[in-house]
């Protein structure tokens, strides 16, 4: 059993495969659900992967569980799920949580910056006052 965040992330990384931006693009084209687990201010500042659903890590279980009153119908255990965050730690932990909730095809894209650096499509935030 993990006794530190470092150990928890290592265990999550062992359970949830890390994928490249190119692999993510192919999976997205084939219908994978993409989840941005960063906090709202991070998404507002930098945007998100085009087509991604923003669900902060603290709400993930509630949105993913079909029995929750807060369930998001975009979550489907039959579809592959790709998670990402700012550096890959929160997405690894989120991926592990989704696996614990019965999602079998879960993948960690890692850092949003890696997606951007690879030329991935991004939806930019709306400028305040516009």
pLDDT score of 3: 84
Q: pLDDT tens for residues 83-113? A: 999 999 999 999 999 999 999 999 999 999 9
pLDDT score of 2: 63
Residue (of 13, 1, 5) closest to 92 by Cα position: 13
**Domain residues of the chain, as ranges?**
20-123
Low-confidence ranges of the chain (pLDDT < 50): 130
Tokens of 12: 């999550």
| Cα 54 from Cα 84, distance rounded (Å) | 10
Superfamily (CATH) of domain 20-123: Rhodanese-like domain (3.40.250.10)
pLDDT score of 85: 97
């Amino acid at each position: 059993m993990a006794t530190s965040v470092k150990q928890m992330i290592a265990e999550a990384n062992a359970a949830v495969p890390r994928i490249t931006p190119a692999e993510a693009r192919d999976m997205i084209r084939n219908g994978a659900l993409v989840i941005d687990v960063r906090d709202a201010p991070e998404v507002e500042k930098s945007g998100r992967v085009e087509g991604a659903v923003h669900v902060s890590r603290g709400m993930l279980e509630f949105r993913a569980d079909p029995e929750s009153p807060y369930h998001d119908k975009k979550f489907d255990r039959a579809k592959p799920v790709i998670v990402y965050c700012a550096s890959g730690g929160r997405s690894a932990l989120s991926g592990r949580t989704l696996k614990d909730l019965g999602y079998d095809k879960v993948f960690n894209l890692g850092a949003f910056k890696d997606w951007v650096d690879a030329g991935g499509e991004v939806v930019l935030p709306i400028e305040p006052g516009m």
